[in-house]
Amino acid sequence: MSLKTLVEVKNLEVNFYTYAGIVEALDGVNIFLREGEILGLVGETGSGKSVTSLSVMMLVPPPGRIEGGSILLETGNDKQDVLLMDDSALRSMRGNEISMIFQEPRAYLNPVYTVEDQIGEVMLVHRKPELLKNAVATLEKNNKRRTFEANNYRRMLKAPRSLATRFLQRFGSKKTLKAEVRKEVVKVLKSVEIPDPERVAGMYPHELSGGMAQRVVIAMALACNPKVLIADEPTTNLDVTVQAQILNLVRLLKKDFNSSILYITHDLGVVAQLCDRVAVMYAGNVVETADVFEIFSNPLHPYTRALLESIPRPGKGFKSIPGIVPSLINPISGCRFRDRCSYALEICQKVKPPFVELKKDHFAACYLHGGSR
């Protein structure tokens, strides 16, 4: 595995301005994603997992606002800060560089369009020139190089925004382009292991089962070969046997496409089975990041430890974490875990522990383990 970092989130701060007060949803989040790895982002409800991933796409919904920090994205040779991009740069970044898969596949599919229409739309938005070139090539092969259709495609390639193009592209058939799109759609459906992709391409979302709908959403995310894939609890509503199938698919994607995947989940079993590295979040902070073997064998932060102990194991009863997740409106000072932590020190009340590298590749934010006291 190469050590090239694709996405680096530094000191990200996000607040939500609600009537009840300012919710400090993210309070200095640090994560990074390397090329070709699966990073698991673990935490309870409201810990800020989803807000982190939405920030990377610049999709934080109002009343949320990104208040500080940076999100560096590797594009070619230089690094760009997502937070400083303008709208058109963002539009081409989403889908091309980073794509996202959501929890509830059916809610993210439009019920009145077929699978082909919806995946095709993504392709036409992001990969139109390539598809047009393919269409022209096909027409030339069939000795139709001088037809109105071929000329139309050439015009769309050359001057896509000109008035004449926009006027003329309404006329004449676009059969070849549609056929090209369909070919690509079937190809991408095949890559997510959908049986009989030609038939599924013509189906509407209600005709798909839960597992199948999730595969379609994954296919849509892969439509433009993004470098980074963000998966936000993609298997939470699925049955275990289907979950096993989807997890295997994610593993295949990593192997075949060398995708880097940010996998958000609250299931530690999934993390152990799938991820290379793990970042644990609690109340808007990343409290610990390490290799998956390291996290499970040698957790440093007390919260990670408590989380691992809360996994039900037969014959041992159920260990719970005392207390509840604190409110993020006017959160407590210092370490946000301190009032549930059995090791809390005096300094934990005053100063937020810094997020430091304690061992190679093992970061934690806790005064118990060195850090600067």
Partner 1 sequence: MSYLLQVRNLKKHFPITGGVLKRSVASVKAVDGVTLDVLKGECFGLVGESGCGKTTLGKTILRLYKPNAGSIFFGAPSDAVNEINNLERTNPKSRRLRRLREQYDISTYRGRDLLLLRRKMQIVYQDPTTSLDPRMLVKDVVGEPLVAQGIAKGEEAKKMVIEILERVGLSERALYRFPHEFSGGQRQRVAIARALVSRPDFVILDEPTSAVDVSVRAQLLNLFTDLQKEYGLTYMFISHDLSIVECISHRVAIMYLGKIVEYSTTEEIFEKPLHPYSQALIASVPVPDPARRKESVPLKGEVPSPVNPPTGCRFHPRCPLAMDACKQKEPDLIDTGNQHYVACFAVNKENR
**Binding residues vs partner 1 (CB under 8 A):** 44-45, 209-212, 239-245, 247-248, 251, 266-274, 292-293, 296, 306-308, 310-321, 324-325
175 vs 255 by CB, closer to partner 1: 255
42 vs 222 by CB, closer to partner 1: 42
Q: In what order do the strands lie in the sheet with 21-34?
A: 21-34, 5-18, 64-75, 78-81
- Least spacing, CB of residue 281 vs partner 1, in Å: 13
- Least spacing, CB of residue 148 vs partner 1, in Å: 46
**What's the CA gap between 89 and 81, in Å, rounded?**
11
- Least spacing, CB of residue 27 vs partner 1, in Å: 20
- Least spacing, CB of residue 249 vs partner 1, in Å: 9
79 vs 251 by CB, closer to partner 1: 251
173 vs 209 by CB, closer to partner 1: 209
127 vs 254 by CB, closer to partner 1: 254
Is the CA virtual torsion 196, 212, 263, 92 positive or negative?
Answer: positive
- Least spacing, CB of residue 273 vs partner 1, in Å: 4
CA proximity to 227, closest of 31, 35, 2, 5: 35
35 vs 267 by CB, closer to partner 1: 267
Neighbouring CB atoms inside 10 A of 24's CB total 21
- Least spacing, CB of residue 222 vs partner 1, in Å: 19
140 vs 239 by CB, closer to partner 1: 239
150 vs 262 by CB, closer to partner 1: 262
- Least spacing, CB of residue 353 vs partner 1, in Å: 21
**How far, CA to CA in Å, does 124 sit from each of 84, 119, 135, 258?**
26, 9, 13, 24
- Least spacing, CB of residue 311 vs partner 1, in Å: 5
